[in-house]
Amino acid sequence: MAKRERPEDGGIEWHDRLNAFECLGCGEFDEVHSARRRNDAEWMQERRELLVLDHTECWEFDDPKMARDARRYRSERKRRELLKARAGAALDRQAVSWRGR
């Protein structure tokens, strides 16, 4: 699968009408609360830079649909790992509380 050329600006575009950033690699939108946008330009710039980093892998696929599917898969995998880690931490806390009795 050929890699697409990423634009110089990182491939993240701002849509004023939607109050959202869009990744041009996968088509995913990231909405921003309008009050935050009006009051904090520095935060908006930082958010855009984080999105550029977060969506780097979207440009590894020639097809935007494949990039979107891969992103969903990675997000789901991360969510499951986080839930598993939280469950493990809860069990550890429970074991400690039982030992303390």
Residues 61-77 have pLDDT tens digits of 888 888 888 888 877 88
- In angstroms, the CA 7 to CA 87 distance is 41
For residue 45, the enclosing domain spans: 12-99
Residues 9-41 have pLDDT tens digits of 889 999 989 999 999 988 889 998 877 777 788
pTM exceeds 0.75 for this model: no
Residue 92 placed within a domain: yes
8 A C-beta contact, residue 71 and residue 57: yes
Q: How confident is the model at residue 87 (pLDDT cuts 50, 70, 90)?
A: confident
- In angstroms, the CA 76 to CA 74 distance is 5
- In angstroms, the CA 59 to CA 3 distance is 6
Identify the H or E element spanning 79. helix 64-99
Residue 36 placed within a domain: yes
What are φ and ψ of residue 59, in 5° steps?
A: -90, 5
Q: Total domain count for the chain? A: 1
Per the DSSP assignment, residues forming a β-bridge with 30 are 21
Residue 87 placed within a domain: yes
